[in-house]
Structure 1
Amino acid sequence: MSFSGKYELETHENFEVFMKAIGVPDDLIQKNKDLKSITEIVHNGNAFKVTVTTGSNVIHNEFTIGQETDFAPIIGDKIKSVVNLDGANKFIVKLNSVTSVTELSENKLIDILTVGDLTYKRISKII
């Protein structure tokens, strides 16, 4: 299954609480809480290029399944981690205290980020 495509954020749950828990400043939370974001994924074999654009903020990450990579997080310095594939439609990465699970289900991209007992869920539709 190919993840390639552009996805627009439809809904998200627990954004403010989650962002506060990972140390995002209140002014950035308020500035970004109602902005729609676009995720563009280029998937070629085990290689992925992921660009998330929210307002004027752009986060770009490239990784290969099973290989250590530097990731640009929401805030702070780059984090080294390894992305693992779970089945054909889900990948998982641990970024310090945050576990990120991204799943492709029909025409939806579902991101679930967890830190401790807090979960932030994003659902994006293909455009």
Structure 2
Amino acid sequence: MSFSGKYELESQENFEAFMKAIEVPAELIEKGKDLKSITEIVQNGNDFKITITTGSNVIHNEFTIGQETDFATITGSKVKSVVNLDGANKLIVKLNSVTSVTELSENKLLDILTVGDLTYKRISKRI
């Protein structure tokens, strides 16, 4: 199953609590909570290019499954990590204290980010 496509954020749970937990400044949390987010994924075999655009903020990451890569994070820092593929439709990566699981299910992209016992869930639809 190919992840390639554009996805628009449909709903999210625990945005504010999660952003506070990873120390995103309050003014950025307030500004970002109601913005629509577009995720664009280009997959070529095990190579991925992912661009997440939220308002004027753009996060761009490129990686190959199983190879260490520098990742740009929500907070603007860079983190070295490895993305693993679980089955044909689930990407898993640990970025410092945050574990990110991205799962493709039909025309939905489900992102689950966990820090400690706090989970932030994003559901996006293919557009």
> How high is the TM-score relative to the length of structure 1?
0.99
Amino acid at match of 1:51: T
Deviations 1:9-34 (A, max 9, x none): 00000000000000000000000000
The 1-side partners of 2:6 and 2:26 are apart by 29
**Superposition map of 1:1-127 within 5 A:** 1-127=1-127
74-83 or 7-16, larger mean C-alpha shift: 74-83
The 2-side partners of 1:56 and 1:19 are apart by 18
Count of residue pairs the alignment pairs up: 127
Q: What percent identity do the matched residue pairs reach?
A: 85
Which ranges in structure 1 are unaligned for 5 or more consecutive residues?
none
Amino acid at match of 1:12: Q
Amino acid at match of 2:45: G
The 2-side partners of 1:77 and 1:55 are apart by 19
106-115 or 74-83, larger mean C-alpha shift: 74-83
Deviations 1:61-82 (A, max 9, x none): 0000000000000114200000
Structure 1 runs of 4+ aligned residues shifted over 2 Å read: none
Please give the secondary structure, in 1, of the residue aligned with 2:109. Answer: strand
Amino acid at match of 2:64: T
The 2-side partners of 1:15 and 1:49 are apart by 24
Please give the secondary structure, in 2, of the residue aligned with 1:20. Answer: helix
Deviations 1:70-108 (A, max 9, x none): 000011420000000000000100000000000000100
> How high is the TM-score relative to the length of structure 2?
0.99
The 2-side partners of 1:81 and 1:39 are apart by 20
Which ranges in structure 2 are unaligned for 5 or more consecutive residues?
none
Please give the secondary structure, in 1, of the residue aligned with 2:19. Answer: helix
